[in-house]
Amino acid sequence: MAVEKLPLAKAINVSLRTALETDPKVLVMGEDVGKLGGVFRVTDGLQKDFGEDRVIDTPLAESGIVGTAIGLALRGYRPVVEIQFDGFVFPAYDQIVTQLAKMHARALGKIKLPVVIRIPYGGGIGAVEHHSESPEALFAHVAGLKVVSPANASDGYWMMQQAIQSDDPVIFFEPKRRYWDRAEVDTEAIPAPLHGAQVVRPGTDATLVAYGPMVKVCLEAAAAAAEEGRSLEVVDLRSMSPIDFDTVQGSVEKTRRLIVVHEAPVFLGTGAEIAARITERCFYHLEAPVLRVGGYHAPYPPARLEEEYLPGLDRVLDAVDRSLAY
């Protein structure tokens, strides 16, 4: 396979397979990742081909999963851990922020922690509580972690390759409602840097910054705006820690207007940091304050309300209108 059109879930699956093939130290572990192949089938077929020793069904204990992954990393392994859903990462939060994030620094660089934590995240699939959250800011705030999210199958493949090769812990947020979206994946391409943002649609009137599931919404919004004669630039952030502020700044210096869109609650979400920093960097360029479109300060609502809760095309365009009205 070199170029193939794959759904995001399959692209990540292929990437994991490649990693397991190439590096005998790579392990896949988590609840139901083995025989079942994961509740989203992202690890489908891997245990069959690589055995129970490398694709490991773990006890139902997230702290244990991450804690033992740390120990395995200390022994020289490169574990790729799955947290079944966003809302179930919190039992492992202590091991992630207190141990995984800090151990390299604690050891003055003498040991490395190449652990990838995969988290299917975000809403839009009509699920019950705890299955639709976007907790990325809670990880990006913590030094020692890197936090990324692919928005399409190609990035799904390549960013996973890069995350596994990284010697730092990477929290890998997978936009679960895009798992079934297909895109071309070129497994022989030269990938863009893991932590670089990308202008995925050029434009001149305002910049939309998004990542993961919201990139598609922003692209649709830009297409709709184009019909009204407005030219929106869309930046796929791809990495929430570190954030590629240079690319965002470059775009804003051109468009002079910025709207950040994410599913996570606006209050103290990644949009807050982007707004604060871009305002500092582009103070004299901005024609309007950076606006943010995101979740509300409320628990993720029951499924029948998620359409109202989640940022959609109309809410994005409403923010664009407000920005342009300055």
Partner 1 sequence: MTVESTAERKPRRTGGNQRASAKKAAPAAKKAAPAKKAAGTKKAAAGKTAPAAQPETDLVQLLTPEGKRVERPEYEQYVEDITPEELRGLYRDMLLTRRFDAEATSLQRQGELGLWASLLGQEAAQIGSGRATREDDYVFPTYREHGVAWCRGVDPTNLLGMFRGVNNGGWDPNSNNFHLYTIVIGSQALHATGYAMGVAKDGADSAVVAYFGDGASSQGDVAEAFTFSAVYNAPVVFFCQNNQWAISEPTEKQTRVPLYQRAQGYGFPGVRVDGNDVLACLAVTRWALERARRGEGPTLVEAFTYRMGAHTTSDDPTRYRHDDERQSWEAKDPIARLRAYLESEKYADEAFFAELEEESETLGKRVREVVRSMPDPDHLAIFENVYADGHALVDEERAQFAAYQASFADTGAEGEGK
Write down the least CB distance from residue 273 to a second copy, Å. Answer: 4
**207 bridge partner residues:** 233, 258
Cis, bond preceding 202 (omega within 30 deg of 0): no
The option from partner 1, ligand TPP, a second copy, none interacting with 290 (CB < 5 to 8 A, set by class) reads a second copy
241 near partner 1 (CB under 8 A): yes
- For residue 53, the tally of other CB atoms under 10 A from its CB is 8
Name the 3-class secondary structure at 161: helix
The option from ligand TPP, partner 1, a second copy, none interacting with 199 (CB < 5 to 8 A, set by class) reads none
Write down the least CB distance from residue 219 to a second copy, Å. Answer: 24
88 near ligand TPP (CB under 6 A): yes
Residues ≥6 apart with Cβ < 8 Å to 161: 15, 18, 19, 191
Name the active-site residue from 104, 131, 195, 262: 131
189 near ligand TPP (CB under 6 A): no
276 near partner 1 (CB under 8 A): no
**Residue 130 appears among annotated catalytic residues:** no
CA dihedral for 243, 184, 262, 252, sign (positive or negative): positive
Q: Which two tokens stand for residue 123?
A: 């809403």
- For residue 316, the tally of other CB atoms under 10 A from its CB is 25
Burial class (CB in 10 A: 0-12, 13-18, 19+), 38: buried
Task: Out of 39, 199, 226, 272, name the contact with partner 1 by CB under 8 A.
Answer: 39
Closer residue to a second copy (CB): 42 or 138: 138
> How far is residue 215's CA from residue 208's CA, in Å, rounded to a whole number?
9
Write down the least CB distance from residue 99 to ligand TPP, Å. Answer: 11
Q: Which two tokens stand for residue 239?
A: 């990495």
What part of residues 257-286 is at the interface with a second copy (CB under 8 A)? 265, 267-273, 275-277, 279-280, 283
Closer residue to a second copy (CB): 40 or 139: 139
Binding mask 132-151 for a second copy (x = CB under 8 A): -----xx-xx-xx-------
Q: Please give the backbone phi and psi of residue 288, each rounded to the nearest 5 degrees, phi first.
A: -145, 155
Tell me which residues are annotated as active site: 131
